[in-house]
Structure 1
Amino acid sequence: MNERTAKLRIDKWLWYARVAKTRSLAAKLVTSGCVRLNKDKVTSASQGIKVEDVLTVTRASHVLVYKVVQLGSRRGPAPEAQLLFEDLTPKPEPGADKSAPVSLEAGHGRPSKKDRRDIMRLKRSFMDE
């Protein structure tokens, strides 16, 4: 069969390309609706992909975009897996991913004996009301 017309199951390719750690996790990723093939949502792990297809994989907080360069025949080492795709993921803007830092009250560690007594008095006053 010609390399251009050959097809491979999408879950196998995701596993070969090391997008998913196991083939069953790749199948779950597809069936949960986190994978798009040429902008169309894929719901079946048996969906065939071919060379030049574009896959969009949604992970917890980021989106990965891959162009299929080769189909592959086995799950090999990472350098071999990187030859299967071209990464089209847009680069994040510098500083865009940073969230506001968590502000903590300036404390002095453990409460002192006086602080603990004050806390207990405050708790008792709320319990009495």
Structure 2
Amino acid sequence: MRLDKFLWFVRLTKTRSVAQDLAEARHLRIDGRVIEKAAACVRIGNTLTFPLHDRVRVIRVLALPTRRGPAPEAQACYADLGPENVSQQASGD
């Protein structure tokens, strides 16, 4: 699946053009590799790292969505590996 489409489908970006701008500005990494094109391929198991809303997001792709559905459906497609979420999971919250 295209990177820009994935980010839009899972509601991490408001529009596909915002996702495209992130990729083309070289702000996105897939498994540590800098991405230059919005058409980069995203697969299940990939780890995406990118700046968004004044923080760095680190997510693992769990599933590839078929549409831009409701938020709970979108959030089931990735696991947030950011430092604040990892500490919450470790403490049992």
TM-score (norm 2): 0.86
What is the identity percentage for the equivalent residue pairs of Structure 1 and Structure 2?
38
The whole-number CA distance in structure 1 between the counterparts of 2:67 and 2:52 is 24
Q: How large is the RMSD of aligned CA atoms in angstroms?
A: 1.3
* Segments ≥4 residues shifted beyond 6 Å: none
The whole-number CA distance in structure 2 between the counterparts of 1:28 and 1:35 is 10
Larger Rg: 1
Correspondent of 1:73 among 39, 63, 66: 66
Asked whether 1:37 is paired with 2:23, we answer: no
Structure 2 unmatched runs, 5+: 86-93
Correspondent of 1:46 among 39, 46, 49: 39
User: What secondary structure is seen at the aligned counterpart in 2 of 1:86?
Assistant: strand
Aligned residues: 85
Correspondent of 1:23 among 16, 36, 51: 16
The whole-number CA distance in structure 2 between the counterparts of 1:82 and 1:23 is 17
Alpha-carbon deviation of 1:49? 0.9
For residue 105 of structure 1, what is the aligned residue in structure 2? none
Alpha-carbon deviation of 1:60? 5.0
TM-score (norm 1): 0.63
The whole-number CA distance in structure 1 between the counterparts of 2:11 and 2:53 is 17
For residue 6 of structure 2, what is the aligned residue in structure 1? 13
For residue 56 of structure 1, what is the aligned residue in structure 2? 49
Structure 1 unmatched runs, 5+: 1-7, 93-129
